Structure 1
Amino acid sequence: MYNVMIVDDEPVIRFGLKASVDWTKEGLHYVGDYPNGEEALKAAEGLTIDLLITDIKMPVMDGLILMKEMLQRFPRLKVILVSSYTDFDYVREGLQLGAVDYVLKPTLEPEEFTKLIQKCVEMIKMDRMVEEKLALVNQTTLIREQKGLEHVIKKVILEDSSLDELHRKVGWLKAPFLLLTMTLNHNDKLEEQYGFLYKTMILEDVQNYFYKNIDEGICFSVNENQMFFLLNTKVDPYVDIERLKKVLEQETNSSFTVGFEMINDLFSVKEGFEKSRLASGRRFFHPNESIFRYESFQEGKLTSLDIKWLHQILLPYDKQGLLEFLRKRFQEWESKMALPMEIKNDACEIFGHLFMKQLELDELMEKYKQIKKIETLEGVRKTLLLQIENYAELSYHKHHHPHGDNAIMQKALDFIHGHYTEELTLQLVSSHVHISRNYFSVLFKRFIGENFIDYVMNLRIQKAKELLENTSMRVYEVAEQSGFNDVKYFSKLFKKLTGSSPIDFRSRSQSPL
C-alpha cells in the first residue's frame, strides 16, 4: 500500500477530506493529518510518503514550502493542493512545482475528490512500474557483465588460458581485488544424510544469492564443495568476508571455511586463487577457525612408510603393535605440518596395506576417496583408528561366515524397504542387522553397487512419483509421505533426478494422451 497524509490548519477540512475517501479500498495507508507543514515533516521522518494532500496557506510552514521539502525527500511524490478562490496565484506556482491538481474547499465533492485520488494512485503505480523495469534492465546488464568476467576468470584459473581478455572485461570492477575460496564444511555428514546432489544444490543457492544481491564481483564453483569469489573491497577484508560468510550460512543453513588473498592486478589472479585455496585448507590443522589469510610457510615432508614393519604386525595380526605404529605416524603428521593431501595419501597407503586382502579393488578405491574427503587432521586419525576395529570384524566374517553376508543384506534390505519413508540412517540399519556402521557401508556398496543414502533417496523419489501420479496431494504432503522433511530440498532434488519439477511431472503424467 502507498502512504498518504493530509495537511490543513482547519480541523473541519482535515476531517472532511479524511472521511470522503475509503483509503484502504484505494490501496492507500492513511498515515495521519496535521495542522501545518512543520508537523507533517516530523511525521514523515523514517517513512516514504507517496501522496501529499495539503492546504496552501497555513501558519508555521505553508503548503508550498512543505511541498518543496517533501519533493526533495521523495522525488516521486504526488501532490494535491487544497485552496480557496483567493489562492489562485499560489495554485499556479504549486502546479509549476509539480502538483498533480488542486481542489477548491468551497466546492469540494467527495466523488470528484475520490476520482482525483484514483488518478494519483495510477500515476504512483506507473512510476513504480517504470522504476522496476529500469532496475531490471540495470540488473540484467550488470549480471551479463559479471557472467562475462566469470567466464574469462574460469578459463584463466581452470584452463590456463591467456590473460589478454581480462582487462577488457573488468572495467566495472576496481582494484584492490579480494580473492576467496569458500569451502563447504561437514561434507561427509551432508552426503550421508542427503546424498551427493545436496552439496551441488547448496553451491547453486550460494551463486544465485550472490548475483541477486551483490553488484561488484563474481563467484563460481570450482569443484563439488568449493566456490571461488572475486570481489572489490574498500574496508578491512575480514569485515567483508565475515559479513558475506554470515549471510550465506544463514541463506543456505550451512557452514563454510574461507581462505583469502589480496591482489592489485588481475594478472595475478591465478596465483592469488591458488593461495586462497591453500589458505582455506589450513582448517585441516585448525578446525575451530573459519577464516584464513594466505601465509607463506614451509611444508614438511613425511618419511616413507616402513612397509616391512607394517606387514610384520599384520601377519600375524598384532593390534597393540598396529596402534603403536599409528601413534608414531600421527605424531609425525602433526610435527611435520605436511600438506593435507600428503597426509591423506599417507593414510590411504596405510589403509591399503591394512585391507588389501579383505576388500575388493573397487571397494578399496572407494575408501581412498572417502579418506581424501576428510576435512581435519583429527578426522583422519579417527578414521584410521576406527579401521582397526573394522579390520578385526572383516577378518572374522571372512573366516567364520563366508556366506553370511547374503543373509545380513537381505535382512537390511527388508528393513530399508519397510522404513525408507521414515528417518533412516546408516547407523540405524547397521544396528538392526548387528554389525558396525563402517562394515555395513562396505557390505552395502559391494552388494548393491551404490551408496546407502543414494539408494534410499531413489526409493523416496520413486514413492513421490507414485503419489504425484495417483493422488491429489499437495507437493509438501507428497514430500512428507515420501520421507522428506524439507519441501524445498525435495523439489530441487526431484527436478535434478527427473528433469521436471513435481508440479510439471504431475501435469504431464495426469494429462490425457
Structure 2
Amino acid sequence: MSTNGLLRVMVVDDEHLIRQGIKHYFNWEEKGFTIAGEASNGQEALNMIEDIDPHIIVTDIVMPIMDGEELTKRVKRDYPAIQMIVLSSYGEFDYVRATFQLGVVDYILKPKLEPKTLLDVLTVAAERVQPSVMDEGQTHAARTQALLEKILLGFATDADFESGLFQEAFPYEAFLLMRESRKEQSTTSPMDQLVNGLDTSRTIHMSLQLKDGDTLHLLQANDREALQRSVVAELPTRTVVCSRVMTNPMELAQAASQLEACMKQVHFYFPQKRVVVAGELDLTQGHEEFDVDAYMLKLREQRYQEAAEGLITHVQAMMQTPQLGPNEFRTFLTHMIFTTAIILHAQPAAGETIEKEKYTYMTAINEAETAERATEALTVFLQKVTPGVRTKDTHDTNMKLLQDYIAEHYMEPLSLKELASHFHFHPSYLSSYFSAHNKEGFSEYLTSIRIEESKKLLKHSGMPIAEISHEVGYSDHSYYCKVFKKDTGVSPSQYRRDYLLKGQEK
C-alpha cells in the first residue's frame, strides 16, 4: 500500500472519542505520518493489518474481545517490524510492564495524552522503522513525489523548500501548473502528446493524481513565455485550466487551490470551453442583485409573463458572469422555485399543480451538471405553474436534439431513463420537459416513430412481421401487434394486405 512516503499509523481504542481526538491532534501528513486505519479492539486490528500494512500501531491496553497486551504479543510475533505505542491509565502498570517486555516503543498515560507528547513518541517509533519497511515509500522517486504532493497540497514547510531534494527536483526558475479534467482523460490524452513532445533537456514534467480523479500537471522551464504559449497551443481539445507562470514555488499551493475552484466553474458554467488560463474568465464582474420583493409583487398581481422573463433574464446574466459557485447557483434557483410556489399556492388557477411539481424541478436543479440544465429546469417549472408564460429560451433546439437522438436509436430498447442519462437530465424532469414542449409525451412519441417506421417496412419490404417488430425496437412480437392495432385500427398483416390491394387496383 503506497502512501507517498508517509508512515502509516493504526489507532486502536474501544472509545470512539479517544480515536477521533487522536486523529485531530495535528496535521498528520505535515508531520510525515498518515492515519491508515482505526479499530475498536485487538481482534479487529489484527483483521485489518494485512490490508492496512501499518508501520506503527497506537493501542489502548484495556479493551473488549482482545486487549492491548494480547494484540502486542500477536503483532510482535507475526509482524515484528511494526512499532507499538501503548496508551494506559494509572492503574494498569502490570499490563504496561508486560508490554515493555514485548518490545513496545513507549507508553503514554491517557490523562497526560497531548499532541506534543504523542508526536515525540511517534518520532522515536519512526526512527525504529526498519529500512526494509521504509524502502517501499522512500525510494528517491517516491520521496520526490511525496515532496511534490506536500508542495501542491500546501503541507510543505520552509525546511522542505530548502532541502537538497527540492533543489534537485525543482532546478528551473519558471513554473506552470495545470489541472486536467477527469471527465475527459483517456489513453490518447493530448496532455500525453504535449508531455512526450517536451524538450526534456529544458523542461521537466511532474504530475499528481488527485482524489477526485483530476490530475495536476507541473511544468518547469527557464523560458517563461514559451512555456505558457506552447501549452495553450497544444491543448485545444481538452478541458484544462492553467495557472499563470510563476517564479516562486511557494505560490504553487495557492495556485492549485485556485485551479480547483476554476475547474468547477468551467465545468458548470462553460462546459464547452477547453483551455482556460487563469485570469481569462472574469469571475469578478458583478451583476445587480435580483429584486425578490419586486418579483413576488408581480406574481401576486398575476403579471406572470413579466415576472418569469425578469427572473430568467437575471439568471442568464448570472451564467455569463458567474460569481456564485455551482452549489450556490443551484440554491438560488431552488429558492426561487420555493418562493414562487408559496406565492402561487394561494392562486388556484395558477398554482394547482405546484405541490406536485416543485420538488421534481428542485431535484432536477440540484442534480444538474451544468448551469444551462439547471436554468432549463427553472424555466419549465415557471411555464407549468404560471398561466400563459412563454419564456425566451432554447427549447426548440433542445427538443430537436432529443428527437434526433430518438430517431437514431428507436430500434433499440430505448427508455426514458437512458435518454435522460445521455443528456444529463433527471428522468422526472425530462418527462415533464418533453410533454411541455412536444405534442406527445416521450412514450407516445417513441411509439409513433416506431409505428411509422414499421409501416414503411410493411409496405416496401417482404420482411416477416415478427422480424419487422424487432427491427423497430419491439422484442415482443405480440405486443407490437397490439400497439400497432391500437394506433391504426388494424393489425400489421391487415395493413400490409390493404396496401397491396390498393396497389393492384391502381
Q: Common fold, TM-score beyond 0.5?
A: no
TM-score range normalised by the length of the shorter chain: 0.3 to 0.5
Q: Larger Cα Rg: Structure 1 or Structure 2?
A: 1
TM-score by length of 1: 0.36
TM-score by length of 2: 0.37
